[in-house]
Amino acid sequence: MEKRPTTLEAIKAPIADEMAAYEGFLREALHSESRYFDDILKYIFENRGKGVRPTLVMLWAKLLSGGKAFGKRVLLSASLIELIHTASLVHDDVIDRADVRHGKASINEQFGRRNAILTGDFILSRIFELGMESLEFDILTYVSHSIKWLCEGEVIQDEQTKTLGMTHEKYYDIIDKKTASLLAIGCGVGAVAVKAPAKEVDAAYEFGRNIGMAFQIKDDILDYAATDQTGKPMCADLREHKITLPLLEALEDMSPEEQSTIRALVGKADDEAIAQIREQIIAHKGIERAEAIMAEYIAKAKEALAHHDESPYRTSLEMMCDFLAERKH
């Protein structure tokens, strides 16, 4: 049988009408009475990412409501998740001093650091304003947990780059908080929005958590891929002293002496050190091992869909698993 195309377009096809309503809702959320500020928000709206998270919210809402047309609660949920993600990236680019986001100048680069910090704060305040005004407090309460986890993830990661003491346990904790938590909350809130039973909310959350772990592991693997494939500088994580799964897997296969040498090289992180570490990762099959772990998370995510009847929404969620696992950049 011919393989299904795993494009985001195909994944979004069953929610095409709802997508248009969501975009209207989001633009409204990213609006300010002040003209200059509104220009910044419009820039964000027009240069946003692929919309993986709101797509997941809407697909889970559809799956668990038997494809019913949905209203304000789902649109609000999808928008809040996208806004949390957006605010976190605006602040992340300030912290990382990144000048590019989604192939365009970052907010700090285009409008200055000061305005970027305030823009992130503005978006956060819109999250609470919209959530409170809607009176859908269960939704606001549910999504607000993720903001705390995102901050925790960033701080624990920062600590690790200073001590170079990264372990598997710490790595999984970091990627759970900095990435998987928002995908988990996104899928879970899709279920909350259609008032699904607690058991279904938890299953949706677990699905999101598993694809979120896989998503970040894939990101960490892609950091070792060539720039002409990803469009990003190779080994950017290592240059920031970040030890991720491919290296952790390779380290596990080394003697204690070799491990100390490699950790010292991560501390150095000049061109020569990076080339040596990359060589060792390849020799100890770090990439292949990380790929296998990612595949396990994808398989676990798919298990959460198994008890649902066949539907376009279930198919799209399965395709999303493949899309995230197969992406090349």
Applying CB under 6 A, which residues contact ligand FPP?
84, 87-89, 91-92, 95-96, 98, 120, 124, 147, 150-151, 154, 178-179
- The Cβ-side half-sphere exposure at 313, using a 13 Å CA radius, reads 23
Number of neighbouring beta carbons within 10 Å of residue 191: 28
Which of Mg ion, ligand FPP, none lies near 54, with the C-beta cut-off 5 to 8 A by kind? none
Q: How many residues interact with Mg ion (rule CB under 5 A)?
A: 2
Residue 222: is it exposed, middle or buried by C-beta count within 10 angstroms (0-12/13-18/19+)?
middle
- Residue 62, C-beta contacts closer than 8 angstroms, at least 6 positions apart: 14, 15, 18, 68, 70, 313
Closest contact distance (angstroms) between CB of 94 and ligand FPP is 8
- Tell me, residue by residue from 138 to 157, as one string, x for binding to Mg ion by CB under 5 A and - for no binding: --------------------
β-sheet bridge partners, residue 17? none
Residue of minimal Cβ distance to Mg ion: 96
DSSP, residue by residue, 255-270:
-HHHHHHHHHHHHH--
Spatial CA neighbour of 56 closest among 14, 103, 17, 101? 14
Which part of the chain contacts Mg ion (CB under 5 A), choosing from 74-82, 92-100, 123-131, 291-299?
92-100
Closest contact distance (angstroms) between CB of 236 and ligand FPP is 7
Closest contact distance (angstroms) between CB of 107 and Mg ion is 12
Contact flag: residue 96 with Mg ion (CB under 5 A):
yes
Which of ligand FPP, Mg ion, none lies near 177, with the C-beta cut-off 5 to 8 A by kind? none
- Tell me, residue by residue from 295 to 314, as one string, x for binding to Mg ion by CB under 5 A and - for no binding: --------------------
Closest contact distance (angstroms) between CB of 215 and Mg ion is 15
**Residue 154 corresponds to which tokens in the numbers above?**
């960033």
Closest contact distance (angstroms) between CB of 44 and ligand FPP is 13
Closest contact distance (angstroms) between CB of 123 and ligand FPP is 8
Spatial CA neighbour of 250 closest among 214, 218, 276, 215? 276
DSSP, residue by residue, 289-300:
HHHHHHHHHHHH
Q: Residues in the site for Mg ion, rule: CB under 5 A?
A: 92, 96
